[in-house]
Amino acid sequence: MCGIVGYLGNGSAVDVWDGKCFTDVNASGVDARDGEFFTGVTSEAMPVLFDLLKKLEYRGYDSAGIAILNDENGEIRTFKTEGSVGDLISITPELGGRIGIGHTRWATHGKPSTKNAHPHSDGTGRIALVHNGIIENYAEIKDKLIESGHEFRSETDTEVLPHLIEEYYDGNLESAVRNALSMVRGSYALAAISVDDPGRIVVARKDSPLVIGLGDGGFFVASDVSGILKYTRDVVFMNDGEIGVITDAGIDITTLEGVSVEKKIETIEWDPEAAEKSGYEHFMLKEIFEQPDTIRDTFSGRISADGIDLGVALPNVRRIVIIACGTSYHAGLFGRYVLERFARIPVDVEIASEFRYTDPIIDCGDLVIAITQSGETADTLAAVREAGSKGSQKLGIVNMLGSSITRECQCLLTRAGPEIGVAATKSFTSQLACLLLLSVQLGKARKTLSTADVNDFVYELKQMSGNIQRVLNSAPDIRKCATMFADADQFLFMGRGANYPAALEGALKLKEISYIPAEGFPAGEMKHGPLALIYDGVPVVAIATKDPVYEKTLGNIKEVKARGATVIGIANESDTEIAKYVDYVLRIPDTDPWIAPVLSSVVLQLFAYYVAHHRGCEIDKPRNLAKSVTVE
């Protein structure tokens, strides 16, 4: 939910920015006007920390702060503020020191404010800490610490951690962190530094992501690997229940019980430029236009002349249960349609945040599929563990290598690459692509699809990337239509069959980034209540691609038109009838009906983007939302 960063420089020069040169810069090489970093090299922590925070600001942006262990006087200097990383940069003087930590916050305990911003310190100011997660028993710990004479300055749960570490501190920061965490219930990824134990950063993880990067200039700590790709591709992923000590000599990782852990250094294959805007105005638009490539990557090595091979063991199961949240839940609803159609297995789709509280009936004959972009979604992780405790088999569909889900079960990686925009786009279509692949492979294994069926569908899958590019080529037409409706007070989206999840996702995209109330409905349900929302001129987006329920969808369009709605239809290029029933038509290439929802989703992503852009909204970082929801 929040972004934490750390840096320990080894004294070598590190390239901190490759952007424009500015003349109006302060002594630390930071342009005071917009937070861009001055071209140059440094072994100082401050510019590196600011750079890392900028990369991770999508994880939280209501406040930010840094703490640096000063080399000259041995004190920790901390600066933090409500607002953005740019606001933090504007108030921070030059801070010398090669060791530091930083944080960008998405509020959970305590309102966004400077006092609630991280880093937090102990009562003496000799320990500083940043934290992502939730300390569930913080109130109990806080009461005991207050009884012992500790004074608290914030409303956060995090502040108990540095005070608790102070209670156990005997000159060894690692030991103090280990003892403090033994008293904690909840989730955490944290990084701590101490005046009395200089030359090291202590990190720990439980249920929140944390990665350590090994670079020529030093060591990097981040909540997300995309934050450090500019500096290194060599990383170590922390696992739950591990503590790491970073010094000039290297990284030493142990369990909470003190048992040494051998860690594998993994090389990330993502291009560092993939985490930059590459000339696009927003990350979201860049990521929408990356989808021809991400779909190709999702399919790469998995489709061959012999059919589909996903490289995961697919058990013989009697039922599939899909658990997910948000956009991934919509992907799961799509998965239900294609899995039942191709593999003829009954599928239930559950919202992960509710799954555990229904006392779910799960057993060893079920396959639970968890869909999550980050692999760190707290509700989904908890649901997976609940299912596992009941004996089910588990499969994850996830984008992030090394994430928590990948350690809970075998996983099918979507290969969408880093997605910076909070509103999911390319990760969603890659999830749909994985579900299509999974459905066909299961159908072939269960003999519910013939060889001819598989070959025909594989042919259509191979056209998907090119067809998405054709949708993107029509972006000017989509933009023109979107701007006509940018001032609407509300939207309704409708679709039938596999187009229903696409309608839900289209509505979610629009309200996420434009803040316009929007709802998605099964088109056949309009007469059972939602027609009451129709009034003269209200925009209705109807997905009416050629499929077995096309004629019924046209009937539903007539129902809303008869009550005054203005209808925007999404239809196949070859459809000559649709224009008779709708006011505007946005086209997708002719394709298999089960692939069409993927193409329609790209249309709806662009539509939402252009509406939000016309309204001047903060597209990449919509209000109140964060990319990775790591708290329940």
* Cα 327 from Cα 558, distance rounded (Å): 29
Q: Rounded distance, CA 195 to CA 287, Å? A: 42
Most confident of the following: 46-60, 402-416, 492-506: 492-506
Torsion-angle region of 258 (φ positive above 0: left; ψ -120 to 50: alpha; else: beta): left
Q: What is the pLDDT of residues 416-465, one digit of tens each?
A: 887 889 999 999 999 999 999 999 999 999 999 999 999 999 999 999 99
Largest pairwise CA distance in the chain: 79
Which has more confidence, 163 or 400? 163
What is the CB neighbour count within 10 angstroms for residue 573? Answer: 13
Residue whose structure tokens are 């760190």: 376
How, if at all, do strands 3-9 and 99-105 pair? antiparallel
Judge whether residue 525 has pLDDT over 80: yes
Both tokens of 2, joined, read 């929040």
* Active site (annotated) includes residue 627: yes
| Total Cβ atoms within 10 A of residue 458 | 18
Distance, CA of 308 to CA of 456 (rounded, Å):
12
> Among the options 55, 509, 621, 627, which is catalytic?
627
| 140 Cβ neighbours under 8 A, 6+ residues apart | none
Q: For CATH 3.40.50.10490, list the domain ranges present in the chain.
A: 277-462, 473-625
DSSP per position, 405-471? HHHHSEEEE-------SSS-SHHHHHHHHHHHHHHHHHHHHTTSS-HHHHHHHHHHHHTHHHHHHHH
Q: Tell me, what's the pLDDT at 58?
A: 72
Give the mean pLDDT of 467-488. 97
How confident is the model over 590-595, as a mean pLDDT? Answer: 97
Q: Can you give the pLDDT at residue 39?
A: 33
Its pTM stands at: 0.76
The pLDDT of residue 561 is: 95
**How many alpha carbons lie under 13 Å from residue 446 in its C-beta half-sphere?**
19
Q: Residues near 521 by Cβ (< 8 Å), separated by ≥ 6?
A: 492, 493, 494, 500, 503, 530
pLDDT for residue 275: 61
Answer positive or negative: Cα dihedral of 402, 103, 271, 627. positive
Among 69, 30, 33, 32, residue whose Cα is nearest residue 50: 30
* DSSP 8-state code for residue 119: P
Distance separating alpha carbons of residues 509 and 48, to the nearest angstrom? 33
Ramachandran category for residue 27: left, alpha or beta (phi over 0 → left; psi -120 to 50 → alpha):
alpha
| Of 2, 409, 481, 617, catalytic | 2
Burial label for 197, CB within 10 Å (0-12, 13-18, 19+), is buried
Angle at which helices 464-473 and 291-299 cross, to 10°: 180
Q: What pLDDT does residue 311 have?
A: 84
Strands 491-495, 393-398: pairing is unpaired
Residue 220 makes CB contacts below 8 A (sequence gap 6+) with 5, 6, 7, 48, 52, 212, 213, 227, 228, 231, 232
Complete edge-to-edge strand list for the sheet that includes strand 201-206: 120-121, 127-135, 186-194, 201-206, 242-247, 250-255
Task: Specify which residues 186 forms β-bridges with.
Answer: 135
* pLDDT band for position 630 (cuts 50, 70, 90): low
Residue tagged 């003999």 (tokens): 447
Identify the three-state secondary structure at position 253. Answer: strand
Element (H, E) at 166: helix 160-168
**Structure tokens, 547:** 């499929």
> Which tens digits make up the pLDDT trace of 245-262?
999 999 999 999 999 999
**Residue 285, pLDDT above cutoff 70:** yes
State the CATH architecture for 3-271: 4-Layer Sandwich (3.60)
Segment 308-327, tens digit of pLDDT? 888 888 778 899 999 999 99
User: Of 154, 162, 150, 6, which Cα lies nearest the Cα of 69?
Assistant: 6
Q: Which CATH number fits domain 473-625: 3.40.50.10490, 1.10.3370.10, 3.40.50.2300, 3.30.1540.20?
A: 3.40.50.10490
How much is the pLDDT for 21? Answer: 26
Fold of 277-462: Rossmann fold (3.40.50)
Q: Which residues contact 130 (CB under 8 A, 6 or more apart)?
A: 4, 5, 6, 65, 67, 101, 102, 103, 118, 119, 120, 190, 191, 192
What mean pLDDT do residues 392-406 have?
A: 87
Average pLDDT score over the chain: 89
Residue listed under structure tokens 């998907």: 464
* Nearest-angstrom CA–CA distance, 381 and 404: 8
The CA-based angle 406-409-414, given to 5 degrees, is: 50
Tell me the pLDDT band of 527, cut-offs 50, 70 and 90.
Answer: confident
Query: Which ranges of 14-137 does DSSP label H, i.e. alpha helix?
Result: 45-56, 85-91
Is 438 in contact with 339 (CB distance < 8 Å)? Answer: yes
CA-to-CA distance for 193 and 211, rounded, in angstroms? 17
Cα–Cα nearest to 419, from 292, 270, 604: 270
Where in the sequence of the chain do the CATH 3.60.20.10 domains occur?
3-271
| Confidence at residue 22, expressed as pLDDT on a 0 to 100 scale | 25
Token representation of residue 88: 């933090």
pLDDT at 18 over 50: no
